Structure 1
Amino acid sequence: MLFVVDASGSMAARKRMGAIKGAVLSLLLDAYQRRDKVGLVTFRGSDAALALPPTSSVDAAAARLEQLPTGGRTPLAAGLLKAREVLRVERLRDPSRRPLLVVVTDGRATESKKAAVSDGSTPVERAGRAARLLAGDGVASVVVDCESGPVRLGLAGALARDLRGTPVTLDELRADSVTALVRDVRTVQNSRRAA
């Protein structure tokens, strides 16, 4: 399971990070028994970072998750490309593992002028391309839509379509709801494999 979390300044990032930290630690406790790994990629400012390399160690996760910075722009494409890189390395290490990507975002993509590319595409278009690459790799995904407020753009839903993933809207993101969501998707995936 690889969480890809928007840690930008938009939409109460601190609350979102608190919920994700709780979910990752909860999933690690379950993963320990099933030999699963859980990792965390965050994106903010001008780039994405691997905040927690895939691990089944609860102690290592707790230490790495203690202080995650938030704020700045939203380089969504960079986050998705970093996730693709992490999953590629994990597949090389263990080809039998089936990854599940959990993207937590409002779907908005902004970048600094320094990070912009010269092909004329927008940050949202670059995020869509990155999402389609992950979908082409056969990565199962869930997009947790954190958009709030009276005006909703539906960008997280578009991202879920590009990922060929499951969109989920949560008005109030809490660690227990993310954990339940991931468990439900895994149950559906396992039943599809058995059929």
Structure 2
Amino acid sequence: MRRKAGGRRTRTRTERKQGRYITSRVPRGELTDVAFDATLRVAAPFQRQRRQPHIKRAVVLHRSDLREKVRVRRTRNAVCFVVDASWSMAAETRMQATKAAVLSLLRDAYQRRDLVGLVSFARDRATVLLPLTNSVEMAQQRLRTMPTGGKTPLSRGMMAGFELLARAKLRDREILPLMVLLTDGHANVSMTGQPPQQEAYQLAEFIASQQIPTVVIDTELPNFYRGLAKELADRLNGSYYQLEELSVGLAELVRSHQELSRINI
């Protein structure tokens, strides 16, 4: 993942000329940040055969020798939890797990400038319970009451989460977004008049096309497994987990995905 501006926390590659020089590579496009040491190492074995008696040069370089610097800087993460609060799942249990994960991530987010947000969806609407923030105090106030019950407007929930992360990316082009969707994958309320399940899958494909990484936590009870959340994760090009089978807490799972974003640069 290559970046074009400065950052704070997670280490990612940057196209700026600032940042720590970690390695070199063959140039991609216009060369503006020459790695002189790497360029000289590539050219060194050919110096004897390249030298010409009538031209006095200390080093003879060919275009194929040129290498550019790969630099890293630090940026911050933006994590948005999107939680199904309808009666189609054990809402209260899932809400409690989400609250704990949000507060856990926020406790170490302030110094790193990370942002955490929360969207719930139920009945016929999605509610931004917590805008993207690094304030534990705000989170504690907003998370005291989280409404549950009613139908499942899955598309509205995903759209609200996507909009929060998209706005964050507009403000900071280098921010690393992550949507964590807790749902059984079942939709029964539509925004556009399309069949709700079809609409949710189409929206998932759109979110995937916008390069928003996602993690889907399947909250469907094992005895009633229909595979809807798995299909949703596939449409999102996201990671899929069953809540009942998670060997780590939700906050730790998110942290592991943030580390993958750091490594896969």
Q: TM-score, normalization: structure 2?
A: 0.67
**Number of residue pairs aligned between Structure 1 and Structure 2:** 187
Give me the whole-angstrom Cα distance separating, in 2, the residues matched to 1:34 and 1:126.
37
1:180 corresponds to which residue? 252
Contact 2:84 2:152 in 1 (8 A): yes
Give me the whole-angstrom Cα distance separating, in 2, the residues matched to 1:170 and 1:117.
30
1:41-190 matches, cutoff 5 A: 41-111=119-189, 117-118=192-193, 121-171=194-244, 177-190=249-262
Q: Which amino acid aligns with 1:188?
A: L
- Cα distance, 1:126 vs structure 2: 0.7
Give me the whole-angstrom Cα distance separating, in 2, the residues matched to 1:45 and 1:109.
11
Q: Which amino acid aligns with 2:260?
A: V
Give me the whole-angstrom Cα distance separating, in 2, the residues matched to 1:110 and 1:135.
22
2:90 corresponds to which residue? 12
Give me the whole-angstrom Cα distance separating, in 2, the residues matched to 1:42 and 1:3.
8
C-alpha spacing 1:102/1:116, structure 2 compared with 1 (3 Å): closer
Aligned-residue Cα RMSD (Å) equals 1.6
Give me the whole-angstrom Cα distance separating, in 1, the residues matched to 2:181 and 2:262.
20
Indicate the structure with greater strand content: 2
Give me the whole-angstrom Cα distance separating, in 1, the residues matched to 2:83 and 2:149.
12
- Cα distance, 1:30 vs structure 2: 1.9
3-state DSSP of counterpart to 2:159: helix
Identity %: 44
3-state DSSP of counterpart to 1:150: helix
3-state DSSP of counterpart to 2:249: helix
Instruction: From the CA coordinates, give the structure whose radius of gyration is larger.
Output: 2
2:263 corresponds to which residue? 191
Contact 1:16 1:173 in 2 (8 A): no
Q: Which has the higher contact order (CA 8 A, sep 6+)?
A: 1
What stretches of structure 1 of length at least 5 have no aligned partner?
none
CA displacement 1:163-194 (0-9 Å, x = unmatched): 100001121679x610111111111121111x
What stretches of structure 2 of length at least 5 have no aligned partner?
1-78
Moved more, 54-63 or 183-192: 183-192
CA displacement 1:35-93 (0-9 Å, x = unmatched): 10000011100011111000000000110011010000000011111112112211222
3-state DSSP of counterpart to 2:250: helix
Indicate the structure with greater helix content: 1
